[in-house]
Structure 1
Amino acid sequence: MPRSPRRPPELRRRIFRGSEARRLGLLTPSDLRSTGWRRLFRDVYADADIPLTHEVRAWAAGRYVIPAEAAIGGRSAAALHGACLVAADDPVEVVSVRDFGPVTGLKIRRGPLAPSQVLAGRGGVRVTTPLRTCWDLCRWHPAEEAVAHLDSLLARGVLRAPELTAYLAGQRNEPGWRRVFETVALTDPAAQSPPESRLRVRLVRAGLPPPVAQFVLAHEGRFVARFDLAWPSARVAVDCDDGRHTRPEQ
Structure 2
Amino acid sequence: MTPTDLSSLLSRPFTLAVAARHGVGRSVVRRLVRDGDVRRVIHGVYVGAHVVDALEVRARAAVMVLPRGAVVCGRTAARLHGVRVPADPRERARRTAPIEVAVPVGAALPRRHGCRARVLALRAEEVVRLGGVPVTSPVRTAADLARTADRDTGVVVLDGFLRAGLIPADALAGMVGRYAGHPGRRRLAEVVRLADGRSADEDETRLRLAVLGAGLAAVEVGWEVRSAFGRTLHRFALAWPGVRVGVDLTPHQQWIRARARSLAGQGWVVLECPAIQVRDNPAATIARIASELRLRDRRRGDDERAA
Q: Same fold (TM over 0.5)?
A: yes
Give the counterpart of 2:96 among 89, 96, 99. 89
SS at match of 2:121: coil
Q: Which runs of 5+ in 1 are unaligned?
A: 1-6
Q: CA contact under 8 A between 2:222 and 2:235: conserved in structure 1? A: yes
**Two-structure CA RMSD over aligned residues (Å):** 3.2
Give the counterpart of 1:101 among 110, 118, 123. 110
Q: CA contact under 8 A between 2:100 and 2:115: conserved in structure 1? A: yes
Equivalent residue for 1:4?
none
- Alignment partners' CA distance in 1, 2:59 and 2:78: 10
Equivalent residue for 1:195?
203
Write out per-residue CA displacement over residues 85-129 of structure 1, whole angstroms, 9 at most, x where no aligned residue. Answer: 467922222223344232222222233323332224433x32112
Higher relative contact order (CA 8 A, sep 6+): 1
Within the alignment, does 1:150 sit opposite 2:158 as a pair? yes
SS at match of 1:137: helix
Change (3 A) 1:107 1:232: farther
Deviation at 1:159, TM superposition (A): 0.8
- Alignment partners' CA distance in 2, 1:93 and 1:127: 10
Deviation at 1:55, TM superposition (A): 3.0
Change (3 A) 1:131 1:223: closer
Equivalent residue for 1:70?
70
Deviation at 1:180, TM superposition (A): 0.4
Looking at secondary structure, tell me which structure has more helix per residue: 2
Bigger Rg, structure 1 or 2: 2
What percentage of aligned pairs have identical amino acids?
Answer: 33
- Alignment partners' CA distance in 1, 2:200 and 2:71: 29
Change (3 A) 1:223 1:150: closer
Instruction: Judge which range, 212-221 or 16-25, deviates more.
Output: 212-221
Equivalent residue for 1:51?
52
- Alignment partners' CA distance in 2, 1:232 and 1:57: 47
Within the alignment, does 1:130 sit opposite 2:131 as a pair? no
State the one-letter code of the partner of 1:214.
Answer: G
Equivalent residue for 1:11?
9
Deviation at 1:28, TM superposition (A): 2.6
